[in-house]
Amino acid sequence: MDRSLDKVRGIFILPIYLCLLAMMFVVPSDMDWLQQIAQWVALPLLILFFYLNTSIDSKFEKSIFYGISLFALSTLLPLAQPVLGQSTLYLIMATWLIGYFSYARAMISVVSIPSSMLFKHKWIAAIIFAIGLIGIYFLLSGIESSVSIVPWICLGLACIVYFMSAINLTGQLHNLPAGIFIAGSITLICFNFLIGLNISSNISIFDNETSLLFFIGQLLMIFAAVRCCVAFSNNNYTDISSVLNKK
């Protein structure tokens, strides 16, 4: 039996995180300050959960840590909107862009490229890339002309790389962590797509129900990463890919 979660520390953080997500959507309108606090505290809690279970000394761990830190920063950036105005949105998108590449870099670091699914079946990679381009096209079609499309093109391409990196974990990791990584990537990409379609009327991107996808996606990514890192630390391997790669 796989007992890689037996030594997970700080597991109590996850129920607290879920309670914060509930606070974002059930608090009365006259207590919206609680919603704001929940948004600001949620991802730092995930950072703490990740920190408690990792040494952050491998490429995988560092890349996940950088990614979640950037996404946490993005939840604080709306505070700068009174000063920066519309530029706040593009600054948030820049943190997402780098964050997705950090997550992709983490997943690529534990994959044996020559034996990976997308390397051996390049037609699958081509199909995923084509579907991604179609998605970007439909996204751009729904964005009003007053909104710059260049940042959305860049973010869309980053999401394609990110999703392909997650898909490429198939056959490289055990089914459960690989599936959680893929589920997390799909959730976050759906969030970006929905935000893009509604961005003209909703610059405060974390203030509606769509943001639930963002926070759930981050939870899935960090949970899968912690599961893998705990398995690594319990087996005294010098190379993280040795324990993360499926035996």
The model's pLDDT over 86-130, given as tens digits with 9 standing for 90+, comes to 788 889 999 999 999 999 999 998 888 888 888 888 999 999 999
Q: Please report the sign of the dihedral spanned by the C-alpha atoms of residue 81, residue 188, residue 172, residue 234.
A: positive
Count of CB atoms situated within 10 Å of the CB of 223: 21
Computed over every residue of the chain, the mean pLDDT equals: 84
Q: What is the pLDDT of residues 27-76, one digit of tens each?
A: 666 667 777 888 889 999 999 999 998 888 888 999 999 999 999 999 99
Q: Whole-model pTM?
A: 0.89
- Percent over 90 (pLDDT), the chain: 46
Confidence tier at 237 by pLDDT (50, 70, 90): very low
Please give the Cα distance from 88 to 96 (Å, whole number): 13
pLDDT at 26 over 70: yes
Q: Which 8-state DSSP code applies to residue 65?
A: H
Q: pLDDT: is 245 or 118 the higher one?
A: 118
pLDDT at 235 over 70: no
Q: What is the pLDDT of residue 175?
A: 84
Mean pLDDT score, 74-91: 84
Q: What is the pLDDT of residue 58?
A: 85
Mean pLDDT score, 213-219: 95
Please give the Cα distance from 105 to 143 (Å, whole number): 29
pLDDT at 17 over 80: yes
Q: pLDDT: is 232 or 212 the higher one?
A: 212
Integer angstrom CA distances of residue 134 from 54, 93, 130, 157, 211: 38, 20, 6, 11, 23
Count of CB atoms situated within 10 Å of the CB of 244: 25
Q: pLDDT: is 51 or 171 the higher one?
A: 51
